[in-house]
Amino acid sequence: MALRIQRMPSSTPMIALAARVVAVVLALLFTALILAMNGHAPLDLAGEVLSSSLFDDFGLQDLGVIFIPLMLTGLSVAIGQQIGTWNIGAEGQFYAGAFAAAAIGLFVPAPDWLSILMMVAGGFAAGALWILIPTLAKAYADVSELISTLVLNFVAALLVYYVATGPWHDRMTNSATPAIPAEIPELWGVIHWGFPFAILLAIVLSLVLSNTKWGYEVRLSGSNPSAAKYAGIPVRRHLITVMLLSGAVAGLAGMLEVAGTVHRLQGGISNNFGYIGIMVAVLARGSLVGVIFAGAFMAFIQNSGIILQTEGLTTSSVLAMTGLILFLTAIGEELSYYRITREKI
């Protein structure tokens, strides 16, 4: 009997999940070690995080409020993954959706319900518009979407910063627009109706992808484009639709943030949600329903960072830890393809 390490062509969902759990635990342990070396008490901090987020009504509400944008940007990235693309620009599409929502909310007079509906449509459209150039460049000239989607993040952030501090600014604050009159009604505490809407969207999209001919063709185009093309599937058309949809969902996230949570447009409104969305999609392994759980987990991590600010920690250290989780997850994902097999001699 000899033991042999072998790389298999695929890995099972259970092992992939286990690899993610191990990656997360290792990243948390490593962070705790660093904190302990800097004179913090990691266990006390963890206790504080748990008691003031999971075991506290207001804490749970804060968690829910962060969950909505994170889950949606994660959904956006995961949608792109279905056809084999990486939408690194969810951050920019988020800003674009927020921008459109604020523009409609501030300057188009309408009754509240109509205003909200227009903002939803505007958020979708602005997100899709923001990814339009990278989409066309990818579809017609095979330009990698990695960088083209990313650079537009900076353009969108600058644009929002400009209008929020310039032409649209509020006379009182100078750093944000005036409050937007139409607000998405609240459901529980500060959690608004965007919460169930976002979850429903993920479930519906997941069902469409796994149960329709369109969804089948999209998934096939993603896993083997040449075979899909040979089978007569319009790969290019699917690529364009899916990428625009990915942008639209990130735009919706920005719209909900403006109309449901912040109620005004301000510079830096995205808080890295777009980048953390990539992390959510990776943890979910591209599963649209998995995004709901991965989004909840990442919301917990981000919320912990906010709680720990009172202890002298910064949100940047949480960003660094998010990077570490992503790094270890990528390694774990690769290792989950290996099996130790016994072979008889």
Partner 1 sequence: MDLITGLLTTAFLAGGVLALAAIGEVLAERVGVVNLGVEGLMAMGAVTGIATVTATHSPSLGFLAALTIGAAFGAAFAFATVIVRANQVLCGLALTLMGTGLAQTIGRGYSGMPAVATFEPIVVPGLSEIPILGKALFSQNILLYLIYIILPVGLSYVMFYTRHGMNMRAVGENPAAADAAGISVRAIRFLYVTAGAALAGGAGGYLTLAFVPSWSDGVVAGRGWIAVALVIFAGYRPGMAALSGLLFGLITALGFVGQARGWPVAPAFLSMLPYLGTLAFIIVPVIAWKNMRRTMAAPAALGEPYYRNVR
| Nearer CB in complex with partner 1: 176/184 | 176
Total site size for partner 1, rule CB under 8 A: 45
- The residue type of 40 is H
| Per CB under 8 A, 317 contacts partner 1 | yes
| Nearer CB in complex with partner 1: 152/269 | 152
* Positions in 202-241 near partner 1 (CB under 8 A): none
Find out whether 38 and 28 touch, Cβ atoms under 8 Å.
Answer: no
Least Cα distance to 116 among 287, 252, 248 occurs for 252
| Per CB under 8 A, 323 contacts partner 1 | yes
* Positions in 253-282 near partner 1 (CB under 8 A): 275, 278-279, 282
| Nearer CB in complex with partner 1: 113/154 | 154
| Per CB under 8 A, 189 contacts partner 1 | no
- By three-state DSSP, how is residue 77 classified? helix
| Per CB under 8 A, 28 contacts partner 1 | no
Interface pick for partner 1 out of 143, 187, 289, 296 (rule CB under 8 A):
143
* Positions in 59-88 near partner 1 (CB under 8 A): 86, 88
The structure tokens listed for 343 are 């072979």
Instruction: Give min distance, CB of 323 to partner 1, in A.
Output: 3
The Cα–Cα gap between 35 and 45 comes to 10
- The residue type of 295 is G
The Cα–Cα gap between 54 and 48 comes to 10
Instruction: Give min distance, CB of 83 to partner 1, in A.
Output: 15
- The residue type of 281 is A
List, in sequence order, every residue forming a beta bridge with 169; answer none if it has no partner: none
Instruction: Give min distance, CB of 151 to partner 1, in A.
Output: 4
Instruction: Give min distance, CB of 136 to partner 1, in A.
Output: 9
Instruction: Give min distance, CB of 126 to partner 1, in A.
Output: 17
| Nearer CB in complex with partner 1: 125/321 | 321
| Per CB under 8 A, 319 contacts partner 1 | yes
DSSP state for residue 66 in the 8-state scheme: H
Inter-axis angle of helices 90-107 and 57-82, nearest 10:
120
Q: Which stretch binds partner 1 (CB under 8 A): 55-63, 110-118, 148-156, 170-178?
A: 148-156
Please name the residues in contact with 9: beta carbons below 8 A apart, sequence gap of 6 or more. Answer: 337
Q: Which stretch binds partner 1 (CB under 8 A): 95-103, 145-153, 174-182, 210-218?
A: 145-153
CA distances from 101 to 108, 243, 253 (A): 10, 21, 11
Q: Is the dihedral of CA 125, 262, 189, 184 positive or negative?
A: negative
Instruction: Give min distance, CB of 225 to partner 1, in A.
Output: 15
Quickly count: other Cβ atoms within 10 Å of residue 48's Cβ: 16
The Cα–Cα gap between 67 and 303 comes to 9
Q: Which stretch binds partner 1 (CB under 8 A): 42-50, 182-190, 285-293, 310-318?
A: 310-318
Please name the residues in contact with 174: beta carbons below 8 A apart, sequence gap of 6 or more. Answer: 165
| Per CB under 8 A, 21 contacts partner 1 | no
| Per CB under 8 A, 201 contacts partner 1 | no
The Cα–Cα gap between 16 and 335 comes to 9
| Per CB under 8 A, 243 contacts partner 1 | no
Binding region for partner 1 (CB under 8 A): 7, 86, 88, 133, 137, 141-144, 146-148, 150-155, 158-159, 161-162, 166, 275, 278-279, 282, 314, 316-324, 326-327, 329-331, 333-335
